[in-house]
Amino acid sequence: MQKGKDVVLVTGATGQQGGAVARQLLSRGHKVRALTRKPQGEAGKALAGLGAEVVPGDLDDVGSLDKALRGAWGVFSVQNTWEAGVEAEERQGKRLAELARKAGVSHFVYTSVGSAHRRTGIPHFDNKARIEETVRGLGFPSYTILRPVFFMENWTSPSFKPSLLQGKLAIGIRADTPLEMIAVEDIGAYGLQAFEQHTELNRREIDIAGDEHTMPEAARILGNAMGRHLEFVPVPIEEVRKFSADFAIMLEWFDRVGYDVHIRSRSREFGIRPTSLADWAAKARW
């Protein structure tokens, strides 16, 4: 990868993972082509201000993808289950990989999900496993698959933050279940290495995490950062299932099996200091 010459197309560039990877690449002087549906939005303008080439595009629009892929040396591929749906996400992921191979992309980085390869039975994990299979089979000169676990940023999402503001960490897993988590900026750091060390990381499939806590522990840590007492409230899984069967299956899997990243050894191997939940929470916008 030639710094300042080789172009990396980053999908989801105005989202969480794509944005983190784009910022890391730009901070190191790499050429970033940031794909977004809203190039004139605040996030798009911010990336342009950092030096990115911000281009309009949609993962369901083949024409826009073909155009964005022209001349790209690398691609960072990410899709959003909760926005697209399980089936559409799979189509988007496979389509982008196929178009990138056709366009002559040299290095393809796909961000999947922790344990996707373990036959979890979770719909939005298994569809990513099938995208992984497509990436492996396309014959890219090199590729890397990243598998991040549960995002720390989920705690500030509409799914959890309203309850936290009411003094409750409400989630449908047991009190004694440890949950591995990762800060999105750490994903960006691993993404940077996936490109800068593409030769060494060719065909590597890497599960990544930054911290691990039970929910009572997480409630205490988040509460300290928010300056308030938080109580862990286990949500009955059938109530979760009314909202999303997929999400309920995932939570049941957390209780039964769970992620299996060895955080310390992963950190040592890549030289990336994992962000703790406490450090992340101290900087979060509550």
Domain spans in the chain, listed from the N-terminal domain onward: 7-149+184-209+260-273
Q: Note the pLDDT of residue 139.
A: 97
pLDDT band at 91 (very low <50, low <70, confident <90, very high): very high
pLDDT attached to residue 254: 98
pLDDT at 5: 84
Predicted structure pTM score: 0.95
Please give the Cα distance from 175 to 255 (Å, whole number): 9
Alpha helices per DSSP H over 103-236: 123-137, 161-165, 184-196, 215-226
Would the pLDDT of 135 be above 90?
A: yes
Contacts of 160 (CB under 8 A, 6+ apart): 154, 169, 170, 171
Q: How many of the other CB atoms lie within 10 Å of CB of 137?
A: 10
Sorting pLDDT into bands at 50, 70 and 90, what band is 35? very high
The long-range contacts involving 49-56, CB below 8 angstroms and separated by at least 24 positions, are 50/22, 50/23, 50/26, 51/26, 52/10, 52/13, 52/22, 52/26, 53/7, 54/13
pLDDT of residue 233: 97
Domain with residues 7-149+184-209+260-273, CATH architecture: 3-Layer(aba) Sandwich (3.40)
Range name among 1-5, 27-31, 44-48, 219-223 with the lowest pLDDT average: 1-5
pLDDT tens per residue across span 61-84: 999 999 999 999 999 999 999 888
Residue 4 has pLDDT above 80, yes or no: no
The residue type of 7 is V
Side-chain half-sphere of 241: how many Cα atoms within 13 Å?
6
Q: Quick one: average pLDDT of 32-51?
A: 93
Cα 79 to Cα 168: distance, rounded to the nearest angstrom? 30
CA atoms within 13 A on the CB side of 185: 12
For residue 20, give every residue at least 6 positions away whose Cβ sits within 8 Å of its Cβ, in sequence order, or none: 184, 185, 187, 188, 191
Number of Cβ within a 10 Å radius of residue 215? 22
Quick one: pLDDT band at residue 100, thresholds 50, 70, 90? very high
pLDDT band at 98 (very low <50, low <70, confident <90, very high): very high
The mean pLDDT value for 16-20 works out to: 96
pLDDT of residue 250: 98
Backbone angles phi, psi at 127, to 5 degrees: -65, -35
Q: Of 107, 232, 109, whose CA–CA distance to 174 is shortest? A: 232
pLDDT band at 262 (very low <50, low <70, confident <90, very high): very high
Q: What angle do CA 22, 106, 72 make, to 5 degrees?
A: 50
% of the chain residues with pLDDT over 90: 94
Write out pLDDT tens, residues 188-237.
999 999 999 999 999 999 999 999 999 999 999 999 999 999 999 999 99
pLDDT at 116 over 80: yes
